[in-house]
Amino acid sequence: MKEELYKLLDECISTGNEEELQVVKQILEGVKRKRENLNGSYIGGVLGMERTLSENHCDVSIPITPFTYNSFEIVHGGVTATLVDSAMGTLANIILPEGYGAVTTNLTMHYLAPGTGGNLTARASVVHKGSKTLVMDGKVVRDDGKVIAHSTGSFFIFKK
Amino acid sequence: MKEELYKLLDECISTGNEEELQVVKQILEGVKRKRENLNGSYIGGVLGMERTLSENHCDVSIPITPFTYNSFEIVHGGVTATLVDSAMGTLANIILPEGYGAVTTNLTMHYLAPGTGGNLTARASVVHKGSKTLVMDGKVVRDDGKVIAHSTGSFFIFKK
Amino acid sequence: MKEELYKLLDECISTGNEEELQVVKQILEGVKRKRENLNGSYIGGVLGMERTLSENHCDVSIPITPFTYNSFEIVHGGVTATLVDSAMGTLANIILPEGYGAVTTNLTMHYLAPGTGGNLTARASVVHKGSKTLVMDGKVVRDDGKVIAHSTGSFFIFKK
Amino acid sequence: MKEELYKLLDECISTGNEEELQVVKQILEGVKRKRENLNGSYIGGVLGMERTLSENHCDVSIPITPFTYNSFEIVHGGVTATLVDSAMGTLANIILPEGYGAVTTNLTMHYLAPGTGGNLTARASVVHKGSKTLVMDGKVVRDDGKVIAHSTGSFFIFKK
């Protein structure tokens, strides 16, 4: 296995361009972030998710890099969905009492503008807190302040 | 840069467990897939997306691995969204005439069951083909045949 | 009360045009449909909903009349939503065992084409039947075969 | 036609209960509201929609009466959708320049609590104003302040 990994990295380094090496660096640092429990998932780690909690919100930010691009070289709609679902899911699990968790049952994304610039921040807010379900609102904002996605999510509450 | 990359990989190999090394292997192979144009995006490459086209559908599959997990160790809802958005977006761009592209304006996901087993396949179908917008239907299926997500997407058609 | 009703009808008849009288006729017939239990709700009655059940579907149809129009004189998006929600809700309550009911928790509508022609039919199908939730798919079709709306709905199952 | 209308009303009055007569009164008053241009559509008239505009919002209210009920005797989800779609659509058409209109392309409803009490108010706000599309947010509130539905809508802008 180790030889395979070195061989894959050697191949990257000898044939990949500068962009690719940056992507590999971001990814390996992301795996390390997961190992050190800075992120709860590999996908959160490799996207470089950083979270900030306040009383009523959960903000999750990622840098915009080639790793986040779709084939048109703008942020992949799935990456934006992953970002906002992570912010909502984190907030859902924070506001629930000990011993309860929440899983997404519905996620609706309205994409408003392309994801460009240096980074994206998803802000999740609670719309409804019931005994069986939660509803969240999520906005994704560029570093120039433009809202690029507006979303809503429903979560089902379960006993762990 | 190269030294940094080797240092990051050395650190993985010396401190990471078997799961982590498998994730790193998947990711480095995915970067290679992007370099070799087997995938149009890094995110498609590292998730290991394979696509199959038929007359009316576009199927995109990924293996389920720890890289795809959320912090509950089931497939991250954002990964499922990325998979189905990729299948829909690929189909959208295939059915449009030369010189036109399509971007997602709305994506609605209904999550029905946890993503478990060996792989997931998203199947996109055209619901509506207008002159300005497309609407797609997407289903995500496990290898045991269970539908785990049902989604719909709207796409805005633009002239490249 | 009775005098008020006759006064309102007299006013309609003396000042209303032919279209308005047709609308009043449709509405009064709809109230009668509710009284005779041909429809379970006044809104279903006045819209003239007729349902047909088959093994896997529930179809609900309404005539397109000025009563169904928005201010642009095409079928109001809310009327289309009412039609498809009724078809889904009927199917939900039919497939559940005795003593259980279902309420809509999420409804997503994609409007594809204007509602024109003589009538609209919504066809609801089951996408997912879980122990706590149901997910339905609904299509609304014109009498020329054109699909004018594609929708999905989530339902929460409760014990009556 | 006139005889038919009187016959239908006679039948209502002789066989209908108090609730039914109230519904007929509401409906006939609603038709009058449409005739007098207090509402732009029959459906808005018979539901008794009243609108209030402020700089950034459009509020539309309706009384909760048996006419608005589904077969469980709570407000029909389709009526709530009609209310919020009307508030959004009104706001969309107000903020657009002379000569432009907007039609709903996507409507997503999250139903949070049953519609009970004396009335419901939908408040529409602009989330995104682009050159081709508008995105709106809509909340539906009971008279006790409880939010019963949270919704988002996309609108396509057209030249009249």
- pLDDT band of residue A91 (cuts 50, 70, 90) is very high
Q: At what angle do helices C2-15 and D2-15 cross, to 10 degrees?
A: 170
Chain A contacts in chain B segment 108-137 (CB below 8 A) = 108-111, 114
- pLDDT tens digits for range B30-78: 999 999 999 999 999 999 999 999 878 999 999 999 999 998 889 999 9
* Pair of tokens at residue C100: 């259980």
C-alpha span between D121 and D149 (Å, rounded): 10
* Pair of tokens at residue C79: 């009327």
Tell me the shortest Cα–Cα distance from B47 to chain A, in angstroms.
10
C-alpha span between D133 and D152 (Å, rounded): 13
CB count in 10 Å sphere of residue C157: 18
DSSP structure string for A10-54: HHHHHH--HHHHHHHHHHHHHHHHHHTTSSSSHHHHHTT-EEEE-
Touching partners of C (3+ C-beta pairs < 8 Å): A, B, D
C-alpha span between D54 and D9 (Å, rounded): 40
Contact in structure between D45 and D34 (CB atoms under 8 Å): yes
Angle at A75 between CA B83 and CA C111, to 5 degrees: 65
C-alpha span between C48 and B27 (Å, rounded): 58
Contact in structure between D116 and D64 (CB atoms under 8 Å): yes
Residue A114's pLDDT is 94
Inter-chain residue contact B24 with A31, CB threshold 8 Å:
yes
β-pair partners for C73: none
Inter-chain residue contact D112 with A106, CB threshold 8 Å:
no
A37 contacts: CB under 8 Å, gap ≥ 6: none
pTM of the predicted model, to two decimals?
A: 0.89
Residue B104's pLDDT is 94
Single-letter amino acid code for the residue at C46 = V
Q: C117: alpha, beta or left, given left = phi > 0 and alpha = psi -120 to 50?
A: left
Tell me the shortest Cα–Cα distance from D55 to chain C, in angstroms.
22
Tell me the shortest Cα–Cα distance from A128 to chain D, in angstroms.
7
- Integer-rounded Cα radius of gyration of chain C: 17
Inter-chain residue contact D31 with C23, CB threshold 8 Å:
yes
C-alpha span between B72 and B70 (Å, rounded): 5
Q: Considering CB atoms only, which of C25, C44, C114 is closest to D5? A: C25
Torsion angle, CA of B114/B120/B121/B126, rounded to 10 degrees?
30
Tell me the shortest Cα–Cα distance from A134 to chain C, in angstroms.
11
C-alpha span between C77 and D115 (Å, rounded): 20
CB count in 10 Å sphere of residue D18: 8
Which residue is associated with the tokens 């539908």?
Answer: B147
Residue B72's pLDDT is 86
Q: Which residues of D touch C77 (CB under 8 A)?
A: 81-82, 85, 89, 103-104, 107
- CB of C37 within 8 Å of a chain D CB? The answer is no
- pLDDT band of residue D71 (cuts 50, 70, 90) is confident
Q: Which residues of C touch D21 (CB under 8 A)?
A: 1-2, 5
Touching partners of D (3+ C-beta pairs < 8 Å): A, B, C
- Return the biggest CA–CA distance within chain D: 56
Residue C59's pLDDT is 97
Backbone angles phi, psi at B129, to 5 degrees: -120, 100
- pLDDT band of residue B111 (cuts 50, 70, 90) is very high
Q: Which residues of D touch C76 (CB under 8 A)?
A: 41, 43, 82, 85-86
Chain B and chain D share a number of CB contacts under 8 A equal to 15
| Cα dist from A11 to A8, A19, A20, whole Å | 5, 15, 11
- Tell me the percentage of chain C whose pLDDT exceeds 70: 100
Contact in structure between B83 and B49 (CB atoms under 8 Å): yes
Inter-chain residue contact D110 with A130, CB threshold 8 Å:
no
Structural domains present in chain B? 1-46 (no CATH), 49-159 (3.10.129.10)
- CB of C52 within 8 Å of a chain B CB? The answer is no
Task: Say yes or no: ipTM exceeds 0.90.
Answer: yes
β-pair partners for A18: none
Q: At what angle do helices A2-15 and A18-35 cross, to 10 degrees?
A: 150
- pLDDT tens digits for range C41-71: 999 999 999 999 987 899 999 999 999 999 8
3-state secondary structure of B34: helix
Inter-chain residue contact A110 with D112, CB threshold 8 Å:
no
Contact in structure between C46 and C38 (CB atoms under 8 Å): no
Touching partners of A (3+ C-beta pairs < 8 Å): B, C, D
Q: Sort D129 into a burial class: Cβ within 10 Å, 0-12 / 13-18 / 19+.
A: middle
Tell me the shortest Cα–Cα distance from C128 to chain B, in angstroms.
7
Backbone angles phi, psi at D60, to 5 degrees: -125, 130
